[in-house]
Amino acid sequence: MKLFCLMAFLLFLLQAVPGKGMPKDTLRCVGSHGFCFHSKSCPEPFAAFGTCSRRQKTCCIDTTSNFHTCQDEGGHCVPPEIKCLQEQVGLCPHREWKCCTEL
């Protein structure tokens, strides 16, 4: 398990280096504290959160961290122009969107 965590951390560091040629989906994944994996399914304790490398890889986020998706927390992702009665912590597929419990 330690080896897997070390590999995931190194992969994260390699992805965190900004590059002009990085695809938008990869930038969104890294911006959401995700990792890009070659397989279509994410290994434990990660959950799928979109794609990377122009849909060639899977974006996976760590479910044991504080970075849970909005739907996992019982919310709904909405664009910034929609007003929320109550916001909550949770990741949305689009960086500028927010997580709301009530609209």
| Higher-pLDDT residue of 20, 95 | 95
Q: What pTM value is reported for the model? A: 0.47
Pick the CATH number of 23-65 from 3.40.50.2030, 3.30.70.260, 3.10.360.10, 3.90.550.10: 3.10.360.10
Instruction: Measure Cα distances from 52 to 7, 16, 48 in Å.
Output: 18, 13, 11
Question: Could you state, in order of their start, the residue ranges of all structural domains in the chain?
Answer: 23-65, 68-102
The identity of residue 2, as a single letter, is: K
List, for residues 36-56, the tens digit of each pLDDT value.
Answer: 888 888 888 888 888 998 889
* Mean pLDDT, range 9-34, rounded to an integer: 67
Instruction: Give me the sign of the Cα torsion angle 38, 42, 46, 47.
Output: positive
Task: Return d(Cα 95, Cα 47) in angstroms, integer.
Answer: 18
Tell me yes or no: is domain 68-102 CATH 2.20.20.
Answer: yes
